[in-house]
Copies of this chain bind each other. A is one copy, B any other.
Amino acid sequence: MESEEIILALAALAQSTRLEVFRLLVGREPEGMPAGEIARELAVPANTMSAHLSVLARAGLIRSERRSRSIIYRADLDRFRAVATFLLKDCCGGRPEVCAPLIADLTPCCSPKEPARG
């Protein structure tokens, strides 16, 4: 994963509407959500939302697929994880003390080996 892609992803999420969209789509995995419904849910005009969706898609954070008249958007969780991993490893590389508490913090929610619960 290139630095350029990371910047694209960070920029895509660094905007309130788009961050909300991404959150919304993560919550709707794996079914996804049509563009119009996303716009309605967040009370944003359809064309404005279309521009935001395009930014998120160009950053690789969401994917679209036409289904009949609707275009269904889905969060790309693998990509999101890749971005987070890059960002953390980039700093964690020489600095385990950065990630150690983060792992500790995240582990109760979802540990690697076992299917997690709350």
Contact = CB atoms under 8 A, between A and B. Distances in A.
Main secondary structure of the interface of A (DSSP, over half): helix
A95 B11 contact: no
Contacts of A80: 91, 98
Interface in A63-118: 75, 77, 80-81, 84-85, 87-107, 109-113, 115-117
A7 interface: yes
A57 interface: no
Question: What is the count of identical protomers in the complex?
Answer: 2
A10 interface: yes
Given A11-B14, A106-B103, A107-B112, A97 B77 contact: yes
Given A81-B102, A84-B87, A104-B113, 8 more contacts: A10-B14, A26-B91, A77-B98, A81-B99, A96-B109, A99-B109, A100-B113, A100-B116
